[in-house]
Structure 1
Amino acid sequence: MEVGRGAAVLELGCGKGDRLAALAALGVRPVGVDISAVQVAAAATRWGSTVEVHQADALHFLSHTSDYYDAVYSAFGAHWFTDPDVLLPAIRERLRPGGTLVLAHLPPGDRIEPDEPTVVRSTLAMVLRWEGEAHQWASLLRHHGFVAPSACAILPPHGARTERTVVLRSRVPARPPRTAQGTTTPAT
């Protein structure tokens, strides 16, 4: 994410707040939300007033906050467990024009349907998880008004027994610039 000092950044599924604390050290205003009261309490204990954390469902938080963010991200978090046709519009509503969305997750399992933008997979605990290939997520992002989706894979350290991490990035279009007469001109 390319955000500068003073930028407001929201993490959906912040866990114990480690990524938020790293952002705070860079002068960013970090805000996190996690559904787990245990994780939120751990973040508050560990990082104190350095980070702002809320215990809530991501959709509930997004629909009840009046704040806008320069960037929103979810690293192995809310976007895996929330219907993207509901979550993506809610995120878009809270991003400032030109704001960035970053999603990070593992590659999809072996049950991907090639024609579906995302796939719901239930685990033994009957938790629904939305999975998809990068091109499927990119299509879904464009469908919900995000622009310039891109993806990359980050390989695990040599010898690690983990899979690569897929990172998707997109943004909300910037508002068209205003002319001297107050009318808008098409963005280029």
Structure 2
Amino acid sequence: MSLAEPWDRYAAGSTPRRTVNAKGETTWLNWTQYADHGPDESVLGPVAGRRVLDLGSGSGSNLAHLVTLGATGQGVDVAPARERVARERWGQMPGLEFRTVDVAAFLHETDETFDVVLSIFGAVWFVDPDTLLPLIRSRMAPGGILAFSHLPPGSQGPKPAEAGLRHDHTPDEWRRILTGHGFSDVRVSLIEPPEGRAVGTMLVRASAA
């Protein structure tokens, strides 16, 4: 069975993202597992004119938001169902592309470079960092930003059972791993959950300088 199959089944059972958030916005970036919670795209700095790669782009909504701010975006996801949903919702937006492909294969094949690489509960959580991070680093422009989020170590969340282990790491471990693969200015923060919820979100940002 290919890796795409369990992720495709998971995608087919996912609830579609809302078309409007609590502020009445039709596009927005959400780093956490909770609606209308956490920081926005300012984590990345200015994105206008920058080339953005989303590893595990899902429905494409986070990437589409950055494109509305002037970025150009490439989304990749291993699940064919994700690309179908993304194209149905965002396919007419200029400067935005989606592909169904394993992220490591994409990074091996592409000759593009990117100013920003995102992984929001995406590939960085599920692919061995010693395999993935060198590939990401090799495709990043000087001074580029890598930013990703996932549940804190030991937290439980939904995933296809066949998709493999999560790569849960502590803040200190992420700093060591990222620095070891050529990243600098590594910043790791824990976003506290909203009231009544127990599990926060880990957010990691690093520079390719």
TM interval, shorter chain, is: 0.7 to 0.9
Tell me the SS of whatever aligns to 1:49.
Answer: coil
Displacement of 1:5: 1.3
Q: Deviations over 1:100-150 (max 9, x none)?
A: 11111110117xxxxxxxxxxxx8547222111011011000000101101
Partner residue in 1 for 2:53: 10
Contact 1:81 1:128 in 2 (8 A): yes
TM-score (norm 1): 0.81
What stretches of structure 1 of length at least 5 have no aligned partner?
111-122, 174-188
Identity between Structure 1 and Structure 2 (%): 40
Aligned counterparts, 1:1-188, within 5 A: 1-50=44-93, 51-109=96-154, 125=162, 127-159=164-196, 161=197, 163-173=199-209
How far is 1:162 from its partner? 5.4
Q: Residue in 2 aligned with 1:185?
A: none
3-state DSSP of counterpart to 2:133: helix
Checking the alignment, whether the CA contact within 8 Å between 2:47 and 2:66 is kept in structure 1 is: no
TM superposition outliers: structure 1 runs of 4+ over 3 Å: 123-126
State the alpha-carbon separation in 2 of the partners of residues 128 and 88 from structure 1.
17
* Structure 1 residue 4: Cα displacement: 3.0
Change (3 A) 1:62 1:133: same
Higher strand share: 1
- Please report how far the alpha carbon of residue 87 of structure 1 lies from its aligned counterpart in structure 2 after TM superposition: 0.3
Radius of gyration: which is bigger? 1
CA contact (8 A) 2:187 2:205 kept: yes
Aligned positions, number: 161
Q: Distance in 1 between matches of 2:47 and 2:74?
A: 15
- For residues 150 and 42 of structure 1, what CA distance do their matches in structure 2 show? 32
Hey, what's the Cα distance between the residues in 2 that align with 1:12 and 1:85?
Answer: 16
**Native 8 Å contact 1:155 1:163 kept in 2:** yes
